[in-house]
Chains A and B, each alone.
Chain A
Amino acid sequence: MFEDVSSAAGLIIVLGYVAIAIIDAVDPQLIGVLNAYTEVPNYTNPVPQPPSWPLHPFGTTFPGIDLYQAVMAAIRVDLWYSFLIVLVGALIGVIIGVTAAYLSGFFDEILMRITDIFLSVPYLPFAIAVGFVLGRGLDELSLALIVVWWPLYARYARGQALAVKENPYVEAAKASGVGGWGVITRHIMPNVLTPVFVQVSLDLGTVVQTFAALTFIGFASSNPYLPELGTLISNGFPYAISAPWGVLFPGIAILIFAVGMNLLGDGLRDALDPRNRT
């Protein structure tokens, strides 16, 4: 019962965020986002103004923008990049993992040793190194995180595929003359995708956090007008004591999404993979 309520709550939170992102992309005025990144007219001094209804419900923040509109616009950007990172990472990982498991032997060994090397680097410094090559920017950052994330999925998908491969129906498909490609795409892949999908949902909360963390330390850009939650926190950081709202609201936006995603992920895992039920 408790699990049902909590995963429903998670689903509602996540859908709410997706709705904000879609509305912001289609018709931002519906959620009160008019011109998110233009300076507010009365921003006369560099000190951010406290929240005030209805003009600035979250207050204003450096460099003179309305925080509510900035957070709403930033949610769309963060969500888009996080989904992109996780889905592309999972796709690459599944292809490599399933191929390794299917071919086995020498190719499996080579592919998995390469994966191990990628896994032996802590992700944050590694993303920094990748980002250095690609340059600083949100696209570059998400590419760096894909490079860091795919090995996890490769290893996970390989484990799943090895288990699926031993099933009699795979043998039956091979015996009835289905080619290697057909066996992978029609018989192994569908059964690997479900557990990977659960893993994706469990990872999304972490990816949003990591993405914002890297922009917070200045990975993406030094442009304070970048609509991104980590950048907003980093903008508010110098004023954290005199104007805490500049740090609080973007952080709460990340926290609630991560909580929702974790609740939903736990619920999905329990529903799709009852063995792990706690």
Chain B
Amino acid sequence: MTLRYYVIRRLLLVIPTIVGLTLIVFILTHVGGDQRFLGEYINIHSPIPVATQEQQLSEKFHLNDPVIVQYFYWLGAFFQGNWGYTQTPIFSGPVLEAISLFLPNTIVLATFSSILTIMIGIPLGVWSAVRKNSIVDHASRVISFIGYSLPVYWLGLLLIIVFASPNVCQCLNVFPISGAVTINLTNNLSWFRAGISYPTHILLIDSLIHGRLDLFTDATMHLVLPVITLTYSILASVIRVMRSSMQDTLDQDYIRTARAKGLPNSVVINQHARRNALIPVLTLMGYTIAGLLGGVVLIEAVFNLPGIGYWTTQALISGDIGGIMGGTVIFGLAFIFSNLVVDILYGYIDPRIRY
């Protein structure tokens, strides 16, 4: 089978997974009864009696049908771009609009953390495998061990205490600890409403479009602590896998051959060993993305960032079905598609894999 057929088959397999995912979440959120669902839509100040409103809404949302039938109504609307409505303290309106407003913030956070993780984790893993039992090796093992045990939101709180407490050191009070931007800077801005910037909703880009370098710097400073926290939370597993994979690779025959024919150490490590050792790390990246998605929920809560995780949490606390459905589906889709990309890359990088 060629790569093209593999990709097509893999893409087709995504469909039943998405249907299964949405079905589980739909049944979970809708089995709890109609009353909770209708609460958001009923207007008690309207002259129409509540009972009549309930009846009309039940018909409108097909609530008298079995859950499974309701699901297919929902799925039809879902593919037509109607994901329902959300009502949370930070946003009320169509779910799809909420996602388009909040997702960019999360993507920025996750992108920076992934880049940092790769830039730190892979060299550190390689180094500790090559110089086994050196100080760097021990240090990176300690880092990765603590990384497994440290609650990510608590690390965020520690950073807040260290960088904002007047008792630690005034010299450290450089990074803002809450929100995506200093609110005073955004007063009277036409392209910044309710914590969201326009038109791309990515503050780093929007501030440059509107020529506000001070806002760009400010937004970057606001990202520093959340990115550090998120990076640390996924760094541990990358270092650990890279280290053991590199160790396995260094024991291979072809490495011995390369050394035997007199190649310099740097060529052996950088060109022969590291490339092959990267394959398990690629698989790991799929899992790491899951960790990343779980991490953003907590980190956005700690640092008060208006991202998709923050919105989903708000939806949970205010009992908002549209938001919980939308948030879970977005997280699930991100997870499914990132694993898809990892699987395809895996086959592409390692020619030994037959699809």
A166 to chain B, nearest CB (A): 24
A132–B32 contact, CB under 8 A?
yes
Q: Is B28 within 8 A of A218, CB to CB? A: no
| B residues near A248, Cβ cutoff 8 Å | 158, 161
Closest to A233 in B: B154
Provide the residues of chain B in CB contact with A112, threshold 8 Å. none
In the complex, the answer to whether B294 meets A133 with C-beta atoms within 8 Å is no
Does A171 reach chain B (CB closer than 8 Å)?
no
B6 within 8 Å of A (CB atoms): no
Check A128/B244 contact, CB under 8 A, given A133-B32, A213-B298, A241-B160: no
Give chain B residues whose Cβ lies under 8 Å from the Cβ of A240. Answer: 157, 160-161
Q: Interface residues of B, CB < 8 Å — how many?
A: 50
Known A216-B301, A258-B148; 12 more pairs at CB < 8 Å: A125-B294, A125-B332, A209-B151, A213-B298, A217-B313, A237-B157, A237-B302, A240-B157, A247-B158, A258-B149, A258-B150, A259-B149
14 residue pairs of the A-B complex, CB under 8 angstroms, read A121-B24, A122-B293, A122-B335, A123-B294, A128-B327, A129-B328, A133-B31, A213-B152, A213-B153, A219-B316, A233-B157, A241-B160, A241-B161, A262-B149
Is A120 in contact with B21, judged by CB distance below 8 angstroms? yes
**A251 contact set on B, CB distance < 8 A:** 151, 154, 157-158
- The reply to whether B317 and A129 form a contact with Cβ atoms under 8 Å apart is no
How does the 8 Å CB contact mask read for B117-161 relative to A, with 1 for contact and 0 for none? 000000000000000000000000000011011111110011011
> A196 interface residue, CB < 8 Å from B?
no
Task: Please report whether the interface of chain B is mostly helix, strand, loop or mixed according to DSSP.
Answer: helix
List B residues at the A interface (Cβ < 8 Å).
16-17, 20-21, 24-25, 28-29, 31-32, 145-146, 148-154, 157-158, 160-161, 164-166, 244, 290, 293-294, 297-298, 301-302, 312-313, 316-317, 319, 321, 324-325, 327-328, 331-332, 334-336, 339
| Bound-state Cα–Cα, A213 to B271, Å | 42
Q: Does A225 contact B (CB under 8 A)?
A: no
Q: How many residues of A contact B (CB 8 A)?
A: 41
With a CB–CB cut-off of 8 A, which chain A residues contact B293?
A: 122, 124-125
A254 at the interface (CB under 8 A from B): yes
Complex-state Cα separation, A259 to B335, whole angstroms: 28
> Residue A205 at the B interface, CB < 8 A?
yes
A163 within 8 A of B: no
A residues with CB within 8 A of B: 113-114, 116-118, 120-126, 128-133, 205, 209, 212-213, 216-219, 222, 233, 237, 240-241, 244, 247-248, 251, 254-255, 258-259, 262, 278
Establish whether residues B316 and A128, one from each chain, have CB atoms under 8 Å apart when the complex forms. yes
How far is A128 from B326 in the complex, measured between Cα atoms in Å?
A: 12
Once the chains are docked, how many angstroms separate the CA of A268 from the CA of B324?
A: 39
Give chain B nearest CB distance to A116 CB in angstroms: 7
The answer to whether A247 and B157 touch (CB under 8 A), given A125-B332, A217-B298, is yes
Give the docked Cα–Cα distance between A147 and B184 (Å). Answer: 45
How many angstroms between the C-alpha atoms of A125 and B325 in the bound complex?
10
B32 with A125: CB separation less than 8 A: no
- Of B150, B151, B165, most A-chain CB atoms within 10 Å: B151
Task: Identify the interface centre among A132, A205, A219, A278: most chain B CB within 10 Å of its CB.
Answer: A132
Nearest A residue to B294 by beta-carbon distance? A124
B160 close to A121 (CB less than 8 A): no
Question: How far apart are the CA atoms of A237 and B24 in the complex, in Å?
Answer: 34
Closest 10 CB pairs of A and B: A117-B20, A258-B149, A251-B154, A124-B294, A125-B331, A122-B293, A259-B149, A125-B328, A244-B161, A128-B316
